[in-house]
């Protein structure tokens, strides 16, 4: 199987910023968030089950899933959240694992926010963590999502601690500096990790 580099980090840590740089180098990127959207696209059996459970109101005017409304409905309701997770997680996992198995790339970057939480590390040859301080994480995610600080704090509380995540890291990109100062450094790290992963991937094939 293709050499798999799992890329993870907490909410707002900079995973997309980093994975975009790998993609620019021509590396295949599989993003769990994109897969999670595909499995509930218009016309999918999973969307039909969600509508059956929550009612037609869960759809927007285009008859697509209204993700914000769904988030609201499950946010403070563990029963509904568990129902949804039990429906979606196996499908997302199955789709992603199939993509990993079908890939013909030398290596690929697999972006999974909850890689550790959902015990997906077993599928990875190597783990790359994007690390930021919780204060910066809170500030960036609040700004990007136009969310309340409390909402982001709650999401952070459902994710593994910074220390635990770091204990899984084979490689680390630190993203604490403001982008104007840090971007060149991040780019250099991505370039050198790319060379390293190509070498490791070739060794795996032998």
Residues near ligand ATP, by CB under 6 A: 9, 11-17, 113, 140-141, 144, 175, 177-179, 182
Q: Which residue, 47 or 132, has its beta carbon nearer to ligand ATP?
A: 132
One DSSP character per residue, 7-49 reads EE-STTSSHHHHHHHHHHTT-EEEEHHHHHHHTTSTT-HHHHH
Compute the distance between CA of residue 14 and CA of residue 186 in angstroms, rounded to an integer: 10
Compute the distance between CA of residue 108 and CA of residue 98 in angstroms, rounded to an integer: 13
Element (H, E) at 173: strand 171-174
Q: Which residue, 89 or 144, has its beta carbon nearer to ligand ATP?
A: 144
Shortest Å, Cβ 145 to ligand ATP: 8
Q: Which residue, 18 or 201, has its beta carbon nearer to ligand ATP?
A: 18
The answer to whether the CB of 70 falls within 8 A of the CB of 100 is no
Shortest Å, Cβ 18 to ligand ATP: 7
Shortest Å, Cβ 128 to ligand ATP: 12
Q: Which residue, 33 or 94, has its beta carbon nearer to ligand ATP?
A: 33
128 SS3 class: strand
Shortest Å, Cβ 155 to ligand ATP: 8
């Amino acid at each position: 199987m293709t050499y798999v580099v799992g890329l993870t980090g907490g909410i707002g840590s900079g995973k997309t910023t980093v994975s975009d740089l790998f993609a620019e180098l021509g590396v295949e990127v599989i993003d769990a968030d994109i897969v999670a959207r595909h499995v509930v696209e218009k016309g999918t059996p999973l969307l039909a089950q969600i509508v059956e459970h929550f009612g037609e109101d869960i759809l927007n005017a285009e008859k697509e899933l209204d993700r914000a409304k769904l988030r609201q409905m499950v946010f403070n309701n563990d029963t509904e959240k568990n129902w949804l997770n039990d429906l979606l997680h196996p499908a997302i996992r199955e789709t992603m694992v199939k993509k990993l198995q079908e890939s013909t790339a030398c290596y690929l970057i697999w972006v999974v926010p909850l890689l550790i939480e959902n015990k997906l590390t077993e599928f990875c040859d190597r783990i790359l963590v994007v690390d930021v301080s919780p204060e910066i994480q809170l500030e960036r995610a609040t700004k990007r999502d136009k969310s309340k600080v409390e909402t982001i704090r709650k999401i952070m509380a459902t994710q593994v601690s910074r220390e635990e995540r770091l204990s899984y890291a084979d490689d680390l990109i630190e993203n604490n500096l403001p982008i104007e100062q840090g971007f060149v450094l991040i780019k250099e790290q991505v370039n050198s990790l790319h060379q390293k992963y190509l070498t490791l991937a070739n060794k795996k094939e032998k």
